[in-house]
Structure 1
């Protein structure tokens, strides 16, 4: 049996239950597409060190360094090629780097060697989309049957699509007004807000995960016109279009009359 296999057998069999129960798990986060390094904590390895990196519940071997045999081996085709061309080992320290991360790289990583044992819980977060603030389009159509006080409010909606492990929140200045969270399903989220017309307060909608956030600020003067202002704006636009069409028709009619007169005169 080679020295490499001898040390591998020892490390695999040596107190696996104690390893799982006593080693502190370090949580690591990264945004999808970025690189992340799982630090061994070593400055250099011993002459007889054998570094083993394992992934997942089944503790699949994905990389190893044998100092004695002066070799580095990466098994990036297991368990399902999710690590293909993405694993790098530091020969001096034994640290593992995952490049161009994907959400499929989320999971448990274990480091075993003669001198150190570590566990890492890696979470890869998808990139955050920017929240979109819109106005409730049904507000004016239903306000005619509501009280005059309800007409003083503007109903808004903040929305994001295809998100997971995030929290969506409304803020008034720096004060949290409301929030909604989603765990591991990729879904769309919407969060309502009602403000008063012509209000001077500052509002913002924020989506965040543990490592990043995206913010959209509310422009009340742009979204929160009163229903009468919406009607005037709408009707004013329609009136302008009608006038333009009528002007074009008059121009065409005038040209037709001129052509008819010219033909009559020449005849």
Structure 2
């Protein structure tokens, strides 16, 4: 299990998201939802519309999984019927099929250069597809065709990086041919670009208050972007856009601290806007918030049996949160939601304690 993984039961959330997809009636129902697998919480957002195109149902689900973990893409069925046909595609490539009409059961794990080799498990009863040992190469769009219904599942892979280390986002994760435009974004901010049409290679170190200054390295030969000397400010969602097709990754930063010391969880902000509240959570429990809309600045240090009592300090200007006199009880995942970016940032805190060893030495004389 990934060190950032929590006790959330993602499959229940997945069932909820899929259930929303089928609520509709006649016409085309379009549903948008998010399910976090192996992550910190389950968020479901819904928007539905109907148009007169028969009984087709199209739904869009966003899933997130930690690198190295497994994720199950749910067909929503408890058992396939005799006439059911399920096809799973990654992009335009067929990777799995269960066809009860002709009694065909197929897993194509050698396609796309073997990126799925020995990683696909198709449930013979339900048609759900499990991807094991996920990597950044498995992020992207999955298409489920179930008879006359379709689902588009956008899989986001979360990569855990230790503070101070580097991470490389390779543009060659996709099979897109004739690439002319490559862009890397952090949230909505463009941080690097390769435009072959005008032979332009650009890194934008200055964006977001300079948090990427002297940290971006764009390799022209491999067409990859490396972020060096990672800090808490770099946790969040990154988007790789290739010829206007997007693949998303999460970067979770692992921070180490010694028991008894203090640590400041950096919001990455220099100021707080009136329209963007800030929330800090420890796993699923609220710790602190700043909400200028209602003029509220609060820390909730009595939660979780008081383990944070008199230990939380919230910076009113930046929203950064300091935890003093750290103990082992404070180790775990912290979630920052600034509403400035589309998705939260995740910081995993590892606490080291001192090991005290005492021994008695006996000296014998003869």
Looking at secondary structure, tell me which structure has more strand per residue: 2
Looking at secondary structure, tell me which structure has more helix per residue: 1
What is the TM-score normalised by the length of structure 1? 0.47
* Larger RCO of the pair (alpha carbons < 8 Å, separation 6+): 1
What is the TM-score normalised by the length of structure 2? 0.35
